[in-house]
A and B are shown apart, each in its own frame.
Chain A
Amino acid sequence: MNLHIAGGRVIDPATGLDATADILIMDGLIRAIGQPNRLDIPQGVERMDADGLIVAPGLVDMHVHLREPGYEYKETIAGGSQAAAAGGVTAMAAMPNTRPVVDDVSIVGYILQQAQRAGLARVYPIGAITQGLQGEQITEMGLLQQAGCVAFSDDGRAVMNSAVMRRALDYSRAFDALIIQHAEDSHLAGHGCMHEGVISSRLGLPGIPAVAEESLVERDIRLVQLTGGRYHVAHISTSGAVAAVAQAQQQGLPVSCEVAPHHFALTDVAVAEYDTRAKMSPPLRSEPHRQATLEGLARGIITVIATDHAPHDADSKDIEFCQAANGVVGLETLLPVALELIRDGVLDWRRCLAAMTCNPARLLGIQSGVLAVGGAADLVLFDPQERWVVDADKLHGTSRNTCFHGRQVQGRVKMTLLAGRLVYRDS
């Protein structure tokens, strides 16, 4: 499909472009970006009016769980791709805690094949750091990378053994691979099922102290100092971890981090009355920690917003709080909840969109998240004004476990293009 997207406000954080502009798309590629009505549009190109819309690179979510293979009753790659398209996400990095675990090249191939078959989003597999996520023996990072893995993580659990983590960070340098840590000391976390604080004490729920995350990030940064491996903290949630990352960055260490929308938008107050929709790992923290994530975003310490999209079937959530599964879906609420950061003066347009486009793309080393002439036409068109209410029943994909049900939000995806193809249109 050849398209002329006319009159939208085009924001490309990678180049700093923020202007009303026209975009010509031919054969799936961006052919030209120029001032309104100045482009030379060939005959037969369909005009798409983007007046009042923001046109941006398709969003890049570097932290999702697509559950396939192994947990297809929670989500499939096709279903997750539908949710991505509806959320304006055209590229996502999928965590390896599937069944079997992504610790072997054959599974990487399977995921890529399923993603291609769905054809609604680019899926970049993340390989496991250790075989079977057991935290003992490192995976074939080189071969996995050759097969298509863009990073390595044991997400869902931390690499606890310091010697193994040291080796992983060291070995990864041979391939300039990114090591993503789910930073939570499993001993300190224990059987905790929410943030340890005033509310956990009132509810009588075992808590996970902030120090479980903070101490592990601090340890890991020491190991980065030692090895020089590229290190990324997944879903950062505590003030101490943000401070540790800031200090590491000041020292010039290759340390980055991401925050999930629920961690900067919600606190452990959402758990009250034992609402399992507000249960995830790491848990929703108290207000001072939430403020620290906002400050981390504002100061440029946290440069990535990623959803930790984690679909779960109703049976895994409609049970006793401590037994309920961790995780929330997030692909379709990513953009509007992130836009609250602009409304609240935490980020400007360029930095907010950068955190969901070029910043994660650069960390993963993928050709996404930019509007490059000659590059793939992966775009999102959204109405920054439209107000709507998040409704779990209207989400795409297989599962409905959102923590934002009923939230008033502003900013709605109207169209998503993948390689010039319309993969989502708001109706």
Chain B
Amino acid sequence: MTYTGAAVELPPWRRKHLLGMEGLNREEIRLLLDTAASLREVNRRDIKKVPTLRGKTVINLFFENSTRTRTSFELAGKRMSADVINISASASSVTKGETLLDTVANLQAMNPDVVVIRHPESGAQAFVARHIDASVVNAGDGRHEHPTQALLDLLTIEDHLPQLGYGSLEGITVAICGDVLHSRVARSNAFALRTMGAHVRLVGPPTLMPAYAEEALGARVYHSMAAGLAGADVVMVLRLQRERMSSAYLPSVREYFTFWGLDQARLACAAPHAIVMHPGPINRGVEIASDIADHPQRSVILNQVSNGLAVRMAVLYRLCLGGQGKVT
């Protein structure tokens, strides 16, 4: 459902934090997606600002470099009139000075409503959530989860359901390709897609698959792109970090692209209408060929970015106001 027009009332949201997609039920995911869909309208207005979160404080606390996610959260907060502060921190450990606990205590003293955190360690946000009164949004923790990425991916897939020939996410086949082991995007998407009734495939070299991936993530694992992509409705390509070449995960970029890179021939294995997604930033010629990344019908990579803004607005809105507020 898509909301248009002025005042909109939505059912309530009861969670304090958004730490991951694992554990969210179908209704909760539906609610966040519907909220995001309704908020997209704000981003199309001439004056892209609503007073919904006036007086609320959002802190973006990023322990890792990020352009698009941090900007997206910042803009999401500002478009809803929240006060947004960005803090870039180095992943401080006990040896480097201030501990995460100290950082959290300092933030708490400023009494924020939402703290959006990206951190290189899996579970760091869960740790912070145990020690802070504010709502915590996980903007990526190590190789664990990146829930707003999964939400924006789901929203993007839903936008293309007519093209894919489906009425809902139920029953669609999504192939997540590449470095699943180190990917928080893959985990969040696998959890969320499973909950929404999609079939999830994980495709990549054995060295980049998590242990017991099928059981842990509720997915089918493939090591051949041709088999993994066969008939898939959505091909989600993961970013491959070059440091994987130096730790015996992979021999070379050349070998990786030859066997697991997405090019025209590989994409031909998928369903004829299949769409291609990538969480960005893309490595052209490493995990995806340029002509696929830029393909006007197939690539929906920039739609993902637009939806990211709406999804982050929806998350901030829900965490700040539950179901009480109205978008006007």
Known A196-B211, A274-B122, A316-B94: A204·B101 in contact at CB below 8 Å: no
A and B contact pairs by CB, cutoff 8 A, 19 listed: A197-B211, A198-B212, A198-B215, A201-B211, A201-B212, A201-B217, A202-B187, A204-B141, A204-B142, A204-B187, A205-B123, A206-B143, A209-B211, A274-B122, A315-B94, A318-B99, A321-B121, A321-B127, A322-B122
Docked complex Cα distance between A197 and B212 (Å): 6
B interface list, Cβ under 8 A from A: 22, 93-94, 99-101, 119, 121-124, 126-127, 141-145, 184, 187, 210-213, 215-217
Docked complex Cα distance between A202 and B121 (Å): 14
Docked complex Cα distance between A205 and B121 (Å): 8
Question: What's the minimum C-beta distance from A364 to chain B, rounded to whole angstroms?
Answer: 35
List which A314-366 residues lie within 8 A (CB) of chain B. 315-316, 318-323
Docked complex Cα distance between A209 and B213 (Å): 14
B211 touches A320 (CB 8 A): no
Most chain B CB neighbours (cut-off 10 Å) among A205, A315, A320: A320
| Residue on A nearest B183 in the bound complex, by CB | A204
B216 touches A320 (CB 8 A): no
B211 touches A204 (CB 8 A): no
| Residue on B nearest A202 in the bound complex, by CB | B216
Residue of A198, A201, A318, A321 near B123 (CB, 8 A) is A321
A202 touches B22 (CB 8 A): yes
Known A274-B127, A319-B99, A320-B121: A201·B94 in contact at CB below 8 Å: no
Known A197-B212, A201-B216, A209-B211: A319·B100 in contact at CB below 8 Å: yes
Question: What's the minimum C-beta distance from A186 to chain B, rounded to whole angstroms?
Answer: 15
| Residue on B nearest A199 in the bound complex, by CB | B216
Known A197-B211, A319-B100, A323-B93: A204·B126 in contact at CB below 8 Å: no
A interface list, Cβ under 8 A from B: 196-207, 209, 273-274, 315-316, 318-323
Known A274-B126, A318-B101, A323-B94: A201·B210 in contact at CB below 8 Å: yes
Please name 9 further chain A to chain B contacts, defined as beta carbons within 8 Å, in addition to the given A318-B101, A323-B93, sorted by A numbering.
Answer: A196-B211, A198-B211, A200-B210, A202-B22, A204-B142, A319-B93, A320-B124, A321-B122, A323-B94
Residue of B99, B127, B145, B212 near A204 (CB, 8 A) is B145
Known A273-B126, A274-B127, A320-B124: A204·B94 in contact at CB below 8 Å: no
Question: What's the minimum C-beta distance from A161 to chain B, rounded to whole angstroms?
Answer: 20
| Residue on B nearest A206 in the bound complex, by CB | B143
A200 touches B127 (CB 8 A): no
Residue of B100, B187, B217 near A320 (CB, 8 A) is B100
| Residue on A nearest B121 in the bound complex, by CB | A320
Docked complex Cα distance between A315 and B101 (Å): 9
Docked complex Cα distance between A205 and B127 (Å): 14
| Residue on B nearest A318 in the bound complex, by CB | B101
Docked complex Cα distance between A273 and B142 (Å): 14
Docked complex Cα distance between A319 and B101 (Å): 7
Question: What's the minimum C-beta distance from A124 to chain B, rounded to whole angstroms?
Answer: 32
| Residue on A nearest B145 in the bound complex, by CB | A204
Question: What's the minimum C-beta distance from A402 to chain B, rounded to whole angstroms?
Answer: 18
| Residue on B nearest A316 in the bound complex, by CB | B94
